[in-house]
Chains A and B, each alone.
Chain A
């Protein structure tokens, strides 16, 4: 060692030193360190769940399973039921996905398959900029721009065409479940689009070329060679969007109408789990009230995890069909 070291220049020597020692201590430390980090994330999830459960123990004891299936939210009488909030969270997220998924996947397809090169980057930047708008700003835009427009133009139009269905029935206030869904759609659009774009870009060109070689049209190439191949990834992008939609708070609170009720009509005001926490946590002074809000948090936590698990399961079923379709 000293002989080698003395003849080499200092910088080279340090490299040789490191290479000459095949101890593997660094490797092991690195492995344990990353393992610890990975476990820390898992531990964090459990800690959050545990804290929420502990914070709401009194409410869980008092209301039991009724908390999930009753609709009264009365802080004065200390009667709390989460059903309208669970319903609101589910429906507003569903509406958001119905609006945002076709839009964002179409945008991603255009940006990767069809758009001229010079236009791609500016559009991508604009879409990503949409993600940078703070929630509260979108909410204010919702109150002062979107809601008046929805009330005077879009909603009456929808009512005229689809008024015969229970979905678009009843009085129009502007603030509504549908408005909440639309604002969430605006907020999850950028993430679904950017993730979908990355996934479509990772589809090997060989796929496209092979399809073209078989005489496929542009649409057929996109459908069979690209979209079908990337199905799994696109589904993942949608799940990411759903995760955001479930927890979206501020902007939704400002446009959804904050009325804990279950109505078939999308024009009726609703309420979400995240909104009721944001609205009432600061002024909740009694124990049971505060604990009920904690339990709302626990329910939201549970729903998010449940949605993700469900997505994982669905992903597996997609996974099994992808190979034959892609080969076809």
Chain B
């Protein structure tokens, strides 16, 4: 009898706990902070997800990847977001294990301002040479050799780069470090670097503005930004030796052919495969493997599962490249391992 009593008591207790959780979750706010690049698609997801689960509201501050990493480490948010994977050093500062959940990908394009907006083809040598300040003129044989059908002017190349720290710069410098030993040794990879040459523009709009207004300018901007502003951009030779046009398809192709480790801290620049565009990068959500608040953890996992299935389908409309199916499966498996 006493055993049964105790069991009933426990059951009732559980009911009370569940009831409390249910009422608490009725107005649950999920706080996130971090990267600016995926902000448009994340806000779309948060908007749409309210229709799926009205009990969760999202509050996302796009304060930059550095801020996202710092806030998730300090546990002031429920999830962080970053355009670059966290370093081992930063991961070791976190009180628990942080998982990287890749969501969507984007690309950098080489945009330029030349009379008549010719379609250009560039290879790694030419791009690295220009950004190292070694190729100074538009009619340099390294550029002209790949573009025999275009008459290039005897004009100085005005190099434009981002002045603010950004994931875009991370992708760009990561690519250059992979294709040019000299770049790797002299400059390296980071969200902002010590540029050997060029002018700094603040944000995509600053770089794009300077390219649009300066005859002979060349710089890098996000693919989305170039598409929306109708800027001409170059086809780039990939590691398979093919010139590839930057597009959502060629980004997803790069994601499919790149070597992706199990912790999902990967770089997909200079990916192998004939159809891969070489200057792409993914963006990640950062969550703790062991969730502190079980109710929130459950909701977060539900959201991540939704985002990686239904959410991915919305990516293309907003000019983001979705993850390839195979990678999505791997990420979903990892999401299932989140404990709460």
Of A77, A143, A151, A259, which is within 8 A of B209 by CB? A143
Q: A76 to B187, alpha carbons, bound, how many Å?
A: 7
The complex places the Cα of A174 from the Cα of B209 at a distance, in Å, of 12
Taking a contact as CB atoms under 8 Å apart, the answer to whether A259 and B214 are in contact is: no
Does A284 lie within 8 Å of B163, measured CB to CB?
A: no
Within 8 A of B (CB), among A218-273: 253-254, 257-259, 269, 271
For A254, what are the chain B residues with a Cβ–Cβ distance below 8 Å?
A: 201-202, 206
Pairwise interchain contact A148-B66, C-beta atoms closer than 8 A: no
Instruction: Return chain A residues, CB-CB under 8 Å to B65.
Output: 282-283, 285
B164 within 8 A of A: yes
A174 x B66 contact (CB < 8 A): no
Question: A279 and B165: CB pair below 8 A?
Answer: yes
Tell me if A147 is interfacial: C-beta within 8 Å of chain B.
Answer: yes
Interface string of B181-224 (1 = CB under 8 A from A): 00000011111111100111110011001100110000000000
Q: How far is the CA of A76 from the CA of B190 in the complex (A)?
A: 6
**Cβ contacts A43-78/B at 8 Å (1 or 0 each):** 000000000000000000000000000001111110
CB distance from B186 to the nearest CB of A (A): 10
Does chain B have a CB within 8 A of A286? Answer: yes
Asked whether B192 lies within 8 Å of A175 as measured between CB atoms, the reply is no
Q: Which residues of B contact A271 (CB under 8 A)?
A: 200
Query: Do residues B194 and A174 form an inter-chain contact, with CB atoms below 8 A?
Result: no
Decide if A257 touches B200 in the complex (CB within 8 Å): yes
**With contact pairs A75-B192, A76-B189 given, residues A269 and B66 touching in the complex (Cβ less than 8 Å):** no
Tell me if A's interface is mostly helix, strand, loop or mixed.
Answer: loop
Given A144-B209, A175-B199, also A72-B194 (CB < 8 A): yes
The smallest C-beta distance from A88 to any residue of chain B, in angstroms, reads 12
**Contact call A173/B199, Cβ cutoff below 8 A:** yes
- Verify A283–B194 contact, CB threshold 8 A: no
- Flag whether A171 is at the interface (Cβ < 8 A): yes
A280 at the interface (CB under 8 A from B): yes
Binary flags per residue of B213-256, CB closer than 8 Å to A gives 1, else 0 = 11000000000000000000000000000000000000000000
Chain B positions 54-95 with a Cβ under 8 Å from a chain A Cβ = 63-67, 69-70, 86-87, 89-90
Smallest distance from the beta carbon of A222 to chain B beta carbons, Å? 43
Given contacts A171-B156, A257-B200, contact A283 B206 (CB under 8 A): no
> Is B199's CB under 8 angstroms from A75's CB?
no
Q: Are B192 and A259 interface neighbours, CB within 8 A? A: no
Say whether, besides A147-B213, A174-B214, A285-B65, A279 and B202 are in contact (CB < 8 Å).
Answer: yes
**Smallest distance from the beta carbon of A168 to chain B beta carbons, Å?**
18
Report the separation of the CA atoms of residues A78 and B194 in the bound assembly, to the nearest whole angstrom: 10
Cβ-neighbour of A285 out of B63, B87, B166, B206 (below 8 A): B87
CB distance from A76 to the nearest CB of B (A): 4
Contacts of A286 in B (CB 8 A): 87, 89-90
Residues in B with CB closer than 8 Å to A151 are 213-214
Q: For B205, what are the chain A residues with a Cβ–Cβ distance below 8 Å? A: 143
Which B residues touch A76, using CB under 8 A?
A: 187-190, 193-194
Not counting A279-B164, A280-B192, a sample of 8 additional A-B residue pairs whose C-beta atoms are within 8 angstroms of each other reads A143-B206, A143-B210, A173-B199, A254-B201, A258-B199, A259-B200, A282-B65, A285-B86
3 smallest CB-CB distances across A and B, nearest first, come from A283-B165, A282-B64, A258-B200
What would 25 A/B residue contacts be, using CB atoms closer than 8 Å?
Answer: A75-B190, A76-B190, A76-B194, A77-B194, A143-B205, A143-B209, A253-B163, A253-B202, A254-B201, A257-B199, A258-B163, A259-B198, A279-B163, A279-B200, A281-B66, A281-B165, A282-B64, A284-B165, A284-B191, A285-B65, A285-B66, A285-B70, A285-B86, A285-B87, A286-B89
Q: Which residues in B have some Cβ–Cβ distance to A below 8 Å?
A: 63-67, 69-70, 86-87, 89-90, 156, 158, 163-167, 187-195, 198-202, 205-206, 209-210, 213-214
